[in-house]
Amino acid sequence: MSDHFAALSQPRRPWLDPAALRESFHRAAAVAHPDAGGDATIFAALNAAQAVLGEPASRLRHLIELEAPQLLTRAAPVPGEVADLFMQLATVRRAAEDYRKKHAATSSPLARALLAGEKAGVRVKLDAAIARLAIAQEQALAEVRALDATWATPAWEPLAALQARLAFLSKWSGQLREDLFQLGP
């Protein structure tokens, strides 16, 4: 398994400064870039490392894979902190799906125009849900930074729980953004 932390000369920690990570990537990529006479394989590995370490849930998962892989063998249920949020999001996503079905079933411009109010309501619900997810993600990232501050004594169980929570929040955020995109302008 590749050590993406080592590839970008970063410490194995839950939190990495985004600016320092970007700078390390750019410095290494400039040397390894094939157009600059570098090695394409190394350049690809640097890109993979940047992709993993730049996304908090992926970074935490990679850290756990390297340091405490036994924690990843368990099934990851929806964390309790986000279970209620999941039900709210499912309701919003269902409303978006229902609207898309109605819209697809209409054939006349008049019928579609009559659905404009429902579309606006669904868009408001999706925007609100995305905002709730952003707040939940920021709270989880604050917990990652707090855990990192005491990283002299690694706390693997809480880190694994945070990783699972961030993974669900990230996944759901992507799904809601896709729902919003599918609504159209």
Q: Is 105 exposed, middle or buried (0-12, 13-18, 19+ CB in 10 A)?
A: exposed
Q: What is the pLDDT of residue 185?
A: 85
Question: Domains (ranges, CATH) in the chain?
Answer: 4-54 (no CATH), 80-183 (1.20.58)
Residue in 158, 162, 161 with CA at minimum distance from that of residue 141: 162
Cβ–Cβ < 8 Å for 4, 62: yes
What amino acid occupies position 113? Answer: A
Report CA-CA distances (Å) from 137 to 11, 41, 130, 179. 23, 34, 10, 19
- What residues in the chain have per-residue pLDDT under 70? 76-77
**Quick one: pLDDT at residue 81?**
72
> How high is the pLDDT of residue 80?
75
- Residue 82: the pLDDT is 82
For the chain, the residue count is 185
Which pLDDT score is estimated for 76?
66
pLDDT of residue 99: 96
